[in-house]
Amino acid sequence: MTLTIAVDHESTTAPYEQLRAQISERARSGRLPVGYKLPTVRGLAEQLGLAANTVAKAYKALEADGVIETRGRHGTFVAAAGDAATRRAATAAAQYAEEARRLGLSREAAEAALNEALRAAYDS
């Protein structure tokens, strides 16, 4: 299996975000299986014509999201936990609900704000 990533240098989306989104989507869909070894930061940067810092930034974001894990000198791998993303989303949702309640929003107003944010994120 080969990791094929396409970075559109004309896009308004930053290259690191394009890279992060593509790896994340493939890992979550199973097209990149758990345990798949990702290329090194330098190797992928060279392959894509990007700065190593750009790839490192994407890998760092993916690791924070629980999509990949770095095993020291052994490399970077697709993580076993799609559950990490679910846990982080649940934590963020709980924080949002608590903040909305603290601000005095009604449940309906809080749900409307959340639905609008979801619509903006997913329908763009």
For residues 46 and 98, what is the distance between their CA atoms, to the nearest angstrom? 45
For the segment 66-88, the average pLDDT, to the nearest whole number, is 81
Q: What is the pLDDT of residue 45?
A: 96
| Three-state DSSP class for residue 76 | strand
Q: What is the pLDDT of residue 34?
A: 86
pLDDT tens-digit map of 6-61: 999 999 999 999 999 999 999 888 888 888 999 999 999 999 999 999 999 999 99
Q: Residue 70: enclosing H or E segment and its boundaries?
A: strand 68-70
Phi-psi map region of 49: left, alpha, beta (phi>0 left; psi -120 to 50 alpha): left
For residues 46 and 13, what is the distance between their CA atoms, to the nearest angstrom? 20
DSSP-derived letter for residue 39 is P
- What is the residue-averaged pLDDT of the chain? 90
Tell me what percent of the residues of the chain surpass a pLDDT of 70: 94
Residue type at position 7 = V
Residue type at position 99 = E
